[in-house]
Amino acid sequence: MRIFVTGARGLLGRSLLACSQSPTTEVVGGARQEGLIGDTQIVGLDLERPETLVAAVEQTRPDAVIHTAALTNVDRCETEPDYARRVNGDAVTALAEACQKLGAAMVHLSTDYVFNGQAGPYAETDSTRPLSNYGQIKLDSEVPVLAMDRGIVVRTLWLYGHIDGARRNLVTWPIESLARGETLRIVDDQWGNPTSATDLAAGLIDLLRAGAQGLFHFGGTAFMTRLELVQRIAAYFDLDASNVESMKTAAAGQDAPRPLRSGLRSDRVSQTLGRTPLSLEEGLAVLAKQPQFRQDFGPLLANA
């Protein structure tokens, strides 16, 4: 199976490149910056120019495309809606049409922000009601993929992990700050499921191999607030959490509203794959064993 991964230089994209290498799988990546990641060829893409995605699919002729590339800055989507719709909406439609024409499967990543956050965690059958431009555009982007013969939409949230060059996320940033004794202000009224990027990447590949179709939720099995997340990270890595202060989301002054009691139920993906997503502590154990994490965070944790 040949798989084309967009957003190949991001956390999930790089995790997919790492977990999908096998004698029966060939992977090609796409990103704004072309070149090589290890032995994987990276094709140049520009989400503002959907024709570059179509050309990449026609050039690589994959059996499946996993589309992870997106504008995930929720506040920028609120203040620049036209730009957000081009990169998070129009690009997906063009890619879905190209895959359908080729007969390739497509996995598209969506978000819990399609819900209003009043009654989470949510199942795939629950009614959607986005609060923000980001959530509405991502919800709209699901439609062309679900209309495909071999389309899969996977909603996920609170992704964490560590890859060389990847941006800090909701787990690695607190680890770094706590190890340095910095004061953290963390919201205590946002609920969700921390999700291991490594676990999600493996799940996406498994869905393709299972011939799955339709809508799935994939979130870690632990449901908690962001404040509890930081406290549990501190406990796991034996870090001092006395400098962690709680705050409310309303005090953050963000442009886009956030769904507060969000979260996703992963029953359907568990039934399809025969396993449940990792818990937080299981995901942290996987993270702690990864060579890049030990190299970059080991000295910090040893000195904490």
Measuring CA to CA, which residue among 112, 131, 52 is closest to residue 262?
Answer: 112
Measuring CA to CA, which residue among 269, 250, 165, 258 is closest to residue 208?
Answer: 269
Integer Cα distance of 53 and 45 in angstroms: 6
In a domain, 241, yes or no: no
In a domain, 237, yes or no: no
Q: Determine contact, residues 74/113, Cβ cutoff 8 Å.
A: yes
Tell me the CA end-to-end span of the chain in Å, nearest whole number: 45
Residue 21 structural domain: 2-166+193-223+260-279
In a domain, 77, yes or no: yes
* 196-221 confidence digits (pLDDT tens): 999 999 999 999 999 999 999 999 99
Q: DSSP assignment of 112-161, as one string?
A: GGGS-SSSPSBPTTSPP--SSHHHHHHHHHHHHHHTSTTEEEEEE-SEE-
In a domain, 154, yes or no: yes
- The pLDDT value recorded for residue 293 is 95
**Percentage of the chain exceeding pLDDT 90:** 91
Dig out the tokens for 16 from the structure. Answer: 């997919």
The answer, as to whether pTM is greater than 0.85, is yes
**pLDDT at position 146 over 90:** yes
Integer Cα distance of 112 and 219 in angstroms: 10
Name 111's bridge partners: 156
In a domain, 252, yes or no: no
Q: Is 88 left (phi over 0), alpha (psi -120 to 50) or beta?
A: alpha
Q: Catalytic one among 83, 134, 160, 236? A: 134
For residues 157-177, one letter each, b for 16 or more C-beta atoms within 10 angstroms of the residue's C-beta and e for the rest, the string is: bbbbbbbeebeebbbbebbeb
**DSSP run (H or E) holding 86:** none
Rg of the chain, C-alpha, whole Å:
19
In a domain, 292, yes or no: no
**Unique residue bearing structure tokens 């449901």:** 223
Q: Is 41 left (phi over 0), alpha (psi -120 to 50) or beta?
A: beta
Number of domains in the chain: 1
* 53-98 confidence digits (pLDDT tens): 999 999 999 999 999 999 999 999 999 999 999 999 999 999 999 9
In a domain, 249, yes or no: no
Q: Catalytic annotation on 236?
A: no
* 120-143 confidence digits (pLDDT tens): 999 999 999 999 999 999 999 999
- The pLDDT value recorded for residue 37 is 86
Phi, psi torsion values for 100, nearest 5 degrees: -60, -40
In this predicted model, which residue has the larger pLDDT, 122 or 26? 122
pLDDT band, very low/low/confident/very high, at 24 (cuts 50, 70, 90) = confident
CATH of the domain at 153: 3.40.50.720
Q: DSSP alpha helices (H): ranges in the chain?
A: 11-19, 50-60, 74-79, 81-85, 91-102, 133-146, 172-179, 197-209, 226-236, 267-273, 280-289, 291-303
In a domain, 120, yes or no: yes
Name 195's bridge partners: 159
